[in-house]
C-alpha cells in the first residue's frame, strides 16, 4: 500500500512539474540562396549558414540554406 501511494505521489509530482515549466521555443526563418556573395551579405545581417547542397562539382549547382531567429 505504501509503495502504491509513493508511486502515485511521485508520478503526480512529475506531471505537475512538467505542466508548470515554461516552454521556450525558438522560431526560425530560413532562406535559400544560390551564390556565395549572397551568403556573405546575409551573414552581415545576422543570418547564419545552416547547410548547403551541391548537385554537381560546378558552383552553379550549389545552394545554401541560412537561418535566423524570427524577430
Neighbour-count burial of 47, counting CB atoms closer than 10 A to its CB (0-12 exposed, 13-18 middle, 19+ buried): buried
Beta bridge partners of 68: 29
Per residue in 4-61, pLDDT (tens digit) is 677 676 666 656 665 555 667 889 999 999 998 999 999 999 999 999 888 876 666 7
CA-to-CA distance for 30 and 22, rounded, in angstroms? Answer: 25
CA 11, 17, 71, 37 torsion-angle sign: negative
- pTM attached to this predicted model: 0.59
Every domain of the chain and the residues it spans: 25-71
What pLDDT does 57 receive?
A: 67
What pLDDT does 55 receive?
A: 80
Amino acid at each position: 500500500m505504501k509503495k502504491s501511494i509513493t508511486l502515485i505521489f511521485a508520478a503526480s509530482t512529475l506531471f505537475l512539474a512538467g505542466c508548470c515549466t515554461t516552454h521556450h521555443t525558438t522560431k526560425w526563418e530560413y532562406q535559400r540562396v544560390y551564390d556565395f556573395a549572397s551568403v556573405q551579405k546575409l551573414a552581415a545581417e545576422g543570418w547564419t549558414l545552416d547547410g548547403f547542397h551541391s548537385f554537381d562539382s560546378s558552383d552553379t549547382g550549389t545552394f545554401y540554406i541560412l537561418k535566423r531567429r524570427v524577430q
